[in-house]
Structure 1
Amino acid sequence: MMITKSFLQKHIDNFPDEFTIEELIERFIFIDKLEKRIEKSNRNDTISEEELENEMQQWFK
């Protein structure tokens, strides 16, 4: 995803008045991941609940 000034401004306006550079980076990483997931959802590029449950079962084996 390409980052624009307007994207940064939109999200920085929602930040607290003071924050660390680490918090800034973490928040933008989170926002980037969230936006990518929303795009996938909008394209119906998702898995069913059953598929998710099967995948999660594999994680804990």
Structure 2
Amino acid sequence: SGTILPHVEGIYFKSNVEPLTFHANHEFKQKIVQMAADAGMGQEEFLLQAVKVYINSQKQEM
């Protein structure tokens, strides 16, 4: 979610979404690519959902 703002050079999209980056070996990345494709998602969407599920499961254990 966010807002669309007019700008002198075009349109500016303001959002509360920020990048989150980490490094993994090739084999791990290929597994993520395949799992995401199997789930009908992109890599970013798949990883975001996986982290959300993990965080929610940790909350339930507390």
Please give the TM-score of this superposition, normalised by the length of structure 2. 0.40
Question: Of Structure 1 and Structure 2, which has the larger fraction of its residues in strand?
Answer: 2
**Larger RCO (CA under 8 A, 6+ residues apart):** 1
Question: Of Structure 1 and Structure 2, which has the larger fraction of its residues in helix?
Answer: 1
